[in-house]
Amino acid sequence: MRRLVVFNNITLDGFFTDANGQIAWAHKGNDKEYNDFVAENAKGGDTLILGRKTYQELASFWPTEQAKKTMPEAAEGMNRMRKLVFSKSLNDATWSNTTLLKGDIAEEVRRVKQEAGGDIAILGSGSIVSALAQQGLIDEYQVVVNPVVIGKGRTMFDRIRSNMDLQLTKSRVFGNGKVYLCYEPTKGA
């Protein structure tokens, strides 16, 4: 079965977006070592699952000439990958290789995990992470702790209703102060 992996930058106070849905803090202090890691790390995946807000954010950047010029490899990958977007309110999704899904999130994800293919990644999309985490459908949480505190924002887990124990499986510290932490749900939890 395909693995479902969350990849998100968070602040030291636990937020993946600030109170206005912005993540400018995650783009500070990027360096080659970190960028190479992210590019390599993304290679196993061929499908993205996105909520509406994250979809709109990404779709407004990656197809642009600016993205293709400044980050050609990443833009090629983002535009080529299959995108599954969960939204009740969107009527169409025009970004290349994007499918709009209206059904039950957990059911759709169970179906996609049974299909042939590589890893499925969730970027941003806190409401989707919360929904799928509680259902035990997420196989791995990859979190990059950024050296910044922002005071207010949204966590990926704000709809979790009971404590969720995790197992740390990998970690890596970068020269720019970012810390990559990789967790799996604790077996039997």
Whole-angstrom distance, CA of residue 182 vs CA of residue 98: 27
How does DSSP classify residue 103?
S
Binding characters for a second copy, 25-64, by CB under 8 A (x = yes): x--x------------------------------------
Q: Is residue 150 at the binding interface for a second copy, with CB under 8 A as the rule?
A: yes
- Burial of 139 from C-beta contacts in 10 A (0-12 / 13-18 / 19+): middle
Name the minimum Å distance from CB 156 to a second copy.
7
Per CB under 8 A, contacts with a second copy among 123-142 are 133, 141
Name the minimum Å distance from CB 152 to a second copy.
7
Maximum C-alpha span of the chain:
47
Name the minimum Å distance from CB 73 to a second copy.
27
Phi-psi region of 125 (alpha: psi -120 to 50; beta: other; left: phi over 0): left
Cα atoms found within 13 Å of the Cα of residue 168, Cβ hemisphere only:
7
Residues that bind a second copy (CB under 8 A): 10-15, 25, 28, 133, 141, 143, 145, 147-152, 155-168, 171, 173, 177, 179, 181, 183, 186
